[in-house]
Chain A
């Protein structure tokens, strides 16, 4: 299992790095998809099959598809790739790389620290699979408030999307008379 974890984790890190450095947007998104799949494998290994499945359905299968959809719609062509390549100069990398390095050091310290592993924060040993049922009971029990807040947010997003996507001549008969009809 450790070997499987290491392979999946290595794939995740590598593909994320590739997703950041590709100058072709669609290629970058494809690497991001592979990275998400690798993270799903890690979730699965650590006994969270529901999280793994949702990772693929929601992130890889819906959100990134929308990203790909938009990138394809814009159909920017080779000029955009060139521009992206010009933007990816080494001096732009310094800030993000330093911040990421801080996180990496922190993670390494946590992983090597015995007390964290003993507290069950990390470590594959002794993990047991979390049933979908348990997740649901938790979500609609102690975490009900968070679920409701998320549903507020989603509803607001939905109303906003409807407002933006609405055609101006629809919904108000007064405007129709103003001659904005198609």
Chain B
């Protein structure tokens, strides 16, 4: 019994540590990959190949003055960066990595992830409001509208997967993909989820809440030191969560020939993350109204269509 508990604790702590380390390491990987794709070098001075750049950045952030502007709403200003980190880390808890590796199995796993994604909105909105400055405020407003809208298609695009697997449980969904990855029958849902996932994590090209050409730095304009660092790490954890969900829901989770399950999961995750970075390197940022009308006029009808067709086919095959 105590061995079970120890294994459970090791599981939880190991996944948490791996998640945070991978997310922090992503900063370096992203900059190197961007450098590669944009024909420049990227960070290559600190440590071998510049690997220790993250450590240097972290030390810098820790030693910066942790300043709360006098015009800010102090309590909410401090609370905001914590929310995004807590929500995204919690969302990763339901992602199954391999048989026996995973923090918790919920029978409403997908809904739990969506719930955490919808709570993460508060972080950005409250940061924008509490900063009490106009650029942060505009960033917060944009983020609220963008994230609420894209949550809708994110949820709807996953319902096709739920119909096929017959469960909200992420482990059951992975088990249902033993023969065929859901990306094949749910190709539309896959693309909608990927786009909505980028918008939910407000990564480039959908980083309008922090568009530096117009809004200085958007909702985190007034943040400095480790509070800014928490927004930053939260964004990268969000990337890992969305990639983990794509792997789990559409790319067959840990299933794959020859190699052990964990290796398959990590490989697929790495490819997804690299695609995230490639999108950032390749695509320009759309205008804000383009982003919103694309969502409501293209993605929403498409995700509804996907849901109707999947449901119809499932019913026809069933009876």
Residues of A within 8 A of B (CB): 26-27, 30, 33, 49-50, 52-54, 56-57, 60-62, 65-66, 68-69, 72-73, 75, 129, 131-133
Contact = CB atoms under 8 A, between A and B. Distances in A.
A62 B168 CA distance: 20
Contacts, number: 76
B311 to A, nearest CB: 12
A72 B115 contact: no
A93 B141 CA distance: 34
A131 B107 contact: yes
A56 B108 contact: no
B122 interface: yes
Contact of A57 (B114, B145, B166): B114
Contact of B118 (A52, A61, A129, A133): A61
Contacts of A66: 148
A49 B106 contact: yes
Interface in B107-145: 107-108, 111-112, 114-115, 117-119, 121-122, 125-126, 128-129, 137, 140-141, 144-145
Contacts of A56: 115, 118-119
B86 to A, nearest CB: 12
Given A26-B129, A68-B144, A72-B128, A49 B121 contact: no
B207 interface: no
A33 B106 CA distance: 22
Given A61-B115, A61-B119, A65-B125, 15 more contacts: A27-B75, A30-B76, A56-B119, A60-B115, A60-B119, A62-B118, A65-B118, A65-B121, A66-B148, A69-B125, A69-B144, A72-B129, A72-B140, A132-B107, A132-B111
A60 B111 CA distance: 13
23 contacts: A27-B76, A30-B122, A33-B122, A49-B107, A49-B108, A52-B108, A53-B108, A53-B112, A57-B114, A61-B118, A65-B118, A65-B121, A65-B125, A65-B148, A68-B122, A68-B125, A68-B126, A68-B144, A69-B144, A72-B125, A72-B140, A72-B141, A132-B111
A60 B106 CA distance: 20
B151 interface: yes
Contacts of A133: 166
Given A61-B118, A65-B125, A72-B125, A53 B111 contact: yes
B111 A54 contact: yes
Per CB-CB distance, the 8 closest pairs between chain A and chain B, nearest first, are: A61-B118, A53-B111, A56-B115, A49-B108, A53-B108, A72-B129, A69-B144, A57-B115
A61 B122 CA distance: 8
What is the interface of chain A mostly: helix, strand, loop, or mixed? helix
A73 B144 CA distance: 11
Nearest to A48: B108
B128 A26 contact: no
A68 B80 CA distance: 14
A109 to B, nearest CB: 34
A75 B137 contact: yes
Interface of B: 73, 75-76, 106-108, 111-112, 114-115, 117-119, 121-122, 125-126, 128-129, 137, 140-141, 144-145, 148, 151, 155, 166, 168
Contact of A129 (B107, B115, B117): B107
B316 to A, nearest CB: 18
Given A27-B76, A72-B141, A132-B168, A62 B119 contact: no
B100 to A, nearest CB: 23
A48 to B, nearest CB: 10
B140 A132 contact: no
A131 B151 CA distance: 23
A131 B169 CA distance: 11
Nearest to B114: A57
A69 B107 contact: no
A50 B108 contact: yes
B264 to A, nearest CB: 28
Contacts of B144: 65, 68-69, 72
Contacts of A69: 125, 141, 144-145, 148
Contacts of A129: 107
A133 B140 CA distance: 37
A50 B141 contact: no
A66 B137 CA distance: 15
B127 to A, nearest CB: 11
Contacts of A73: 141
Nearest to A56: B115
Nearest to A50: B108
